[in-house]
A and B are shown apart, each in its own frame.
Chain A
Amino acid sequence: LAISFALPTYAQQKDVADPQTTQKILAMAKTGNDAHNNNDAAAIAEQFTRDGVFVTTEGPITGRQAIQNGIQTCSSGGTPSTTSTSSTGTSFT
């Protein structure tokens, strides 16, 4: 019982990750922001698993290389970078 009182706050929330893991994910988000603002497609794709899936409004892109290619093409203006409908839409970034 004493141990349960000593549990850190995160452990009392049933599904929240521990602080160390949370910090790693927040750091990933920051790295992603930097990569995005630097138009660095490789760095953005590097955050995905090799078989990662990036869901765009045009459908899912599967695989790190395909994701990198998609972002790269988008940055160079070769394909639509933003798709939208009158009610919903997505920035393909």
Chain B
Amino acid sequence: LIGTAGNELADPQTTQKILALMKAANEAQTNNDPAARVALYTRDAVFVTPDGGPIIGRQAIQKWFTDLYQWWHPKNSIHKVDGDAPHLIGTAGNELWATGEWSETGQGKNGEPIPIKRYRWWHPKDYITKLDGNAVHLIGTAGNELWATAEWSETGQGKNGEPLSIKGHWTRIYVREGDDWKIRVSAMNTTPDSVRLINKSFAPQPAATPSPTASP
């Protein structure tokens, strides 16, 4: 089955267990409960954050969620596995992968809704991706599947042509195809600082208002 890793779906019983995990995550997130949130991870789990990159270990992950819940109080958290379909990695049936969508409701500084914006004409240069620790990790024992995390960075142009240097992190699963390796799943994020830079450059400018000193 070399080269076909990841093509098979998990059996219904396993799928239900994964979906139950998602439900537990929803409840933990909605209850702002770091301990319950982190109980879903292995002891040596890797959690790739948008701000600091990978955090390793259940205890460190719990601290990250504890810090998060100090200022962010999400409600109505929903995590959904795309297609309700976890996929097998390899053939042993001991590792799975899935993509999914999450949503939750929070409040901005003044209770305002959080906008989602889209930007066009992004022309990045100087793209660099560096594997964390130059290390690639085995999934399972057959040696046909790997995972890695990395940091990426690039420079694009802002609305007025100014350079915007942004960065983020990605996580990938590689599978063997003959003598080569290919990417089976790649997921990436962008750091909050980078997003703020982009927001600042591309945000619509407020309409000019008369100076208060000019008022009668």
Report whether A91 and B154 are in contact in the complex, using a CB–CB cutoff of 8 Å: yes
Picked from A16, A29, A86, A88, the residue with its CB within 8 Å of the CB of B115 is A86
* Distance from A73 Cβ to chain B, minimum over Cβ atoms (Å): 11
Contact with A along B171-201 (1 / 0, CB 8 A): 0001101001111111111101011001100
| A56, B99: Cα distance in complex, Å | 10
Task: Considering the complex, give the chain A residue whose CB is closest to the CB of B148.
Answer: A25
Tell me if B110 is interfacial: C-beta within 8 Å of chain A.
no
B206 adjacent to chain A (CB < 8 Å): no
A91 and B122 within 8 A (CB): yes
Q: Would you list which residues of chain A between 65 and 89 have a CB under 8 Å from chain B? A: 74-75, 77, 79-89
Q: Which residues of A contact B (CB under 8 A)?
A: 15-17, 21-22, 24-26, 28-29, 32-33, 36-37, 47-49, 51-57, 59-60, 74-75, 77, 79-93
B-side interface residues toward A, CB under 8 Å? 3, 6-7, 50, 72, 82, 99, 101, 106, 108, 114-131, 134-138, 143, 146, 148, 150, 154, 156, 166, 168, 174-175, 177, 180-190, 192, 194-195, 198-199
